[in-house]
Amino acid sequence: MTTPANLQKRIQRVEMCDIVKRFPGVLANNKVCIEVNAGEVLALLGENGAGKSTLMRQLYGLYRPDGGQILIDGQPQVFHSPADAIAAGIGMIHQHFMLVPTLTVAQNVALGLKSSREPQLDLERVSKRIQELAQAYGLKVDPEAYVWQLSVGEQQRVEIIKALYRGASIIILDEPTAVLTPQEVNDLFVTLKRMTQEGHGLVFISHKLHEVMAISDRIAVLRDGQMIGSRPAKGVTRDDLVKMMVGREVKPLAPQPLQTGPVCLGISGLRAMGDRGTEALRGVDLEIHASEIVGVAGVSGNGQRELAQCLAGLRKNTAGTIQLNGQDITQASLLERMAAGQSYIPEERMRDGAIREFSVQENLFLRDHAAPQYTNGIFLNFARMAARTREVIQQYSIKAPGGDTPIKNLSGGNIQKLIMARELSRQPKALIAAQPTRGVDIGATEYIHQRLLEQRANGTAILLISEDLDEIRTLSDRIAVMYEGQIIGIVARGEATVEQIGLMMAGIPLQETRAKASA
Amino acid sequence: MPPESHPRSQKSWLDDWKDLAFRAALPFLAMLAALLIGAIVLAFLKVNPLTAYAAIVTGVFGSMSGFTQSLVKATPLLLVGLGICIAFRASMINIGAEGQIILGALGATAWSLAFRNWPGWILLPTTLIASFIAGAAWGFVPGFLKARFRVNEILSTVMMNAIALQLMNLLIRGPLIDQAGVTAGTYLAQSEKLPESVWLTRLIPQTLLHTGAILAVILAVVVYIFLWRTTIGFRIRAVGLNPDASRYAGVNVPAYQALSLTLAGGFAGLAGAVEVMGVHHRLLEGITSGYGFSGIVAALFGGLHPLGLIPASWLFGSLLVGADKMQRAVQVPSALIDTLLGLVVLFVVGSAYISQRWAARRAIAVSKAGKEAEA
């Protein structure tokens, strides 16, 4: 039995016509029209803040549109809540999973649904149904497993099962690949294909071009809340899409190889505990030379964050040493490390990197406000600070009305430029850049990448930690792959394929893959 | 470009002005709303609200004594509020001003009596300093507990109030008791009169208004400069707004949290000092008059800004005096006065929320306008 009863009333076509959604002071969707048909993948492409998620949240009943219509098979619909949307056959897989870790897969799926024999639970029936669905769609899931035991990829499968179980015919996937390894992405794509064959319509929200081009049948591009256009995926090029997304051409970077200098940042045997009390770093050895970018790749949660924090001085290590130009900085404080020539771009920009309510100027001097050239005794020298702020705003092309604007009014990309300005203007010998372009638009990303390469040319040793494998592969001279708190392998630029790096991210060392390949 | 947003971006200067006016007016609107509800309550008590409120106004502005009294009450409110403001900027909630006032008053009393033979020009400033240090010490304890053991400062400051109160009761019945009372056999729980050299000069004869009011205003300006123009103030504000980012920036977050509570205690201590040195000239029971709590409200009313606190504490001082006069004029139970003040607090806190939402909406509009400018 592979065709469950509740899939008989399949939606053939969902249309959103002239959708207008306003937030105070912002027009998030301006007369946007899209349509999704059964059996196709529609990719919704656009930069952060383009209005993709807002549009889909209206389809899922999380927001009510201020104007326009939602039609399902030609019938106008009004969704007051996600419950209405689910009842109509719409499902959504959120970027952050909505699962209860302490419950089993079956319990999670049953959560919020009426049992067939109220008031008792009918978990056996649910489990059986999950297995049917799993088989029908090729989703490997154990209904009895606890969610906390599952990998991120498996949890995502549970979310998909949850949507299917509720009879979703049209499924929205909000940036589903952001948390997956390349292999898991491949598995997901196989599942998605299977789903379209079964007659589901899928909306795939993303800003990763190559994925969008790989999976979708049609690509719709949003920019500034407006529909720029929709193209069949066949025959469209990366440059076309970028142009539609950004509104201008963006040339890919091709960094020239450089003569690297001596070892600048030396990490050996570094161990540290994670927030959950387990050992997050289990002996990390890594050397970064002057004029070199070393990229750290890995599935998130394998110790990259802790590594960055240890290097920054925000987390105590339990063993091992860190050396900066031969000087042992293992025990040094943040300020001492800064004085020794190390800069740090933190992963959580708005939490660690900047203060929302502070002005551009105050944020620019967050770390250096006590420097002698900007103070008279305990008093801040505002005139000098303001002059320097004007310089920096210009130099780093930060788009801000002025130095006294609170940064909560700036875009993510401009805030990141501000943090870059603060960290780079110190002319650091070593730079730790954690997720420098996460959530940043293409224009600003391009700019940040150029700055990092410039810094490399100036002789800085750069440790680039990123979940964006493309970014790592473009910028890094060497790629170190982290797995379960260790560096599982280091490859030079061009030495390994994406697949090989992906396998390393999943814990399989390069030698093994190569041995298999040759065998 | 979305046509809707054009008028907004073009009129942004007008919007800025309207925004400012709205936010400045908000506390007053809140007070008006509180008085309206108070009027209904008064009507239920069969009192003409207009007569009652007229009594407040004439109570404060009708006579020199009423007016100066409002300033006398505003002085400790302002000093306490400055401390609350510093602590709040570091995201520390100081409920311990009552205890810190007591310690300041004790410090001033003990010091000035112990060194009563010193010349006034040295005794007076050192007495003020002693009161500041005593209050600061009382603020330091919860600050230290917070910094070292993550003890919730709201709880610890409240408990420190109880300790301070009993400490004062002990001292003014024991070592500090007025010997005149002992000889007379009344054993009044109050200290000996302070040496006249530390009495704060009365600014207007026949009134209680003393130089402490001027000191408080000067200190408000000092605190403003401290918070916004110095490295220490910068760090205190950074710690309060985002401890994670501050830690990353190399600031010793717990130390600055403790410092803010210590300074808050110091300012409350000064409030205690001006009460004994300027008003009562001795330490007696009930020395705090609840200023430790109303100071928090005044601070909120003043937008937690040292300069905003100056009018806010005067307004609150007036309200205290006026309410007192109203109670006598229209014979309402004193509980009603507390109700009225409570309503004002409720509306002020509520308006702070509205003001925040207003600011958030403005921020979105500004960023939108900024993006338009980029495009």
Work out the burial of residue A319: count CB atoms within 10 Å of its CB; fewer than 13 is exposed, 13-18 middle, 19 or more buried: middle
Q: Is A27 helix (H, G, I), strand (E, B) or coil?
A: strand
Per CB-CB distance under 8 Å, the chain A contacts of B231 are 369-370, 375, 378-380
Q: What token pair was written down for A267?
A: 């990490």
CATH superfamily of A11-89+169-245: P-loop containing nucleotide triphosphate hydrolases (3.40.50.300)
Distance from CA of B373 to the nearest CA of A (A): 9
Per CB-CB distance under 8 Å, the chain B contacts of A353 are 245, 248
pLDDT score of B6 more than 70: no
CATH T-level topology, domain A263-352+427-518: Rossmann fold (3.40.50)
Q: Which CATH number, 1.10.287, 2.60.40, 3.40.720, 1.10.3470, labels domain B73-331?
A: 1.10.3470
**Portions of chain B given CATH number 1.10.3470:** 73-331
Give the CA distances from residue A49 to residues A95, A360, B51, in Å, rounded to whole numbers and listed in that order: 15, 21, 57
Question: In the prediction, which pLDDT does B84 show?
Answer: 96
Q: What token pair was written down for A448?
A: 């940040």
User: What digits encode the pLDDT tens for the residues B126-163?
Assistant: 999 999 999 999 999 999 999 999 999 999 999 999 99
d(CA A410, CA A400): 7
User: What digits encode the pLDDT tens for the residues A23-57?
Assistant: 776 788 999 999 999 999 999 998 877 888 889 99
* A26, A48, A375, best to mutate vs chain B, most B CBs in 10 Å: A26
Question: In the prediction, which pLDDT does A355 show?
Answer: 93
User: What digits encode the pLDDT tens for the residues B349-366?
Assistant: 777 677 667 666 655 555
Per CB-CB distance under 8 Å, the chain B contacts of A400 are 370
Tell me if chain B has a CB within 8 Å of the CB of A396. no
User: What digits encode the pLDDT tens for the residues B159-204?
Assistant: 999 999 999 999 999 899 988 888 888 888 899 999 999 999 998 8
- The per-residue pLDDT of chain B, averaged, comes to 87
Distance from CA of A67 to the nearest CA of B (A): 14
User: What digits encode the pLDDT tens for the residues A247-279?
Assistant: 887 777 778 888 888 999 999 999 999 887 789
Tell me if chain A has a CB within 8 Å of the CB of B222. no
What's the rounded mean pLDDT across residues A473-500? Answer: 91
Q: What token pair was written down for A317?
A: 């290590």
Write down the pTM of the prediction: 0.78
Are the C-beta atoms of residues B291 and B77 closer than 8 Å to each other? yes
The residue in chain A having the minimum alpha-carbon distance to the alpha carbon of residue B240 is A355
Beta carbons of B231 and A375 less than 8 Å apart? yes
Quick one: three-class SS letters along A355-409?
CCCCEHHHHHCCCCCCCHHHEECCEECHHHHHHHHHHHHHHCCCCCCCCCCEHHH
Tell me if chain A has a CB within 8 Å of the CB of B249. yes
**Portions of chain A given CATH number 3.40.50.300:** 11-89+169-245, 263-352+427-518
Q: Which of B246, B248, B365 sits opposite A346 (nearest CB)?
A: B248
pLDDT score of B120 more than 50: yes
Distance from CA of B3 to the nearest CA of A (A): 10
The residue in chain A having the minimum alpha-carbon distance to the alpha carbon of residue B374 is A399
What's the rounded mean pLDDT across residues A217-235? Answer: 90
Tell me if chain B has a CB within 8 Å of the CB of A358. yes
Distance from CA of B229 to the nearest CA of A (A): 6
pLDDT confidence tier of residue B375, bands split at 50, 70 and 90? very low
The residue in chain A having the minimum alpha-carbon distance to the alpha carbon of residue B239 is A355
Tally of CB atoms within 10 A around B102? 30
Where is average pLDDT lowest: A418-427, B48-57, B102-111? B48-57
Burial A392-426 (b: 16+ CB within 10 A, else e): bbeebebebbebebbbbbbbbbbbbbbbbbbbbbb
In the block, residue with structure tokens 């430029």: A417
Helix (H) or strand (E) holding B355: helix B334-374
Tell me if chain B has a CB within 8 Å of the CB of A22. yes
Work out the burial of residue A80: count CB atoms within 10 Å of its CB; fewer than 13 is exposed, 13-18 middle, 19 or more buried: exposed
Per CB-CB distance under 8 Å, the chain B contacts of A352 are 244-245, 247-248
Residues in chain A: 519
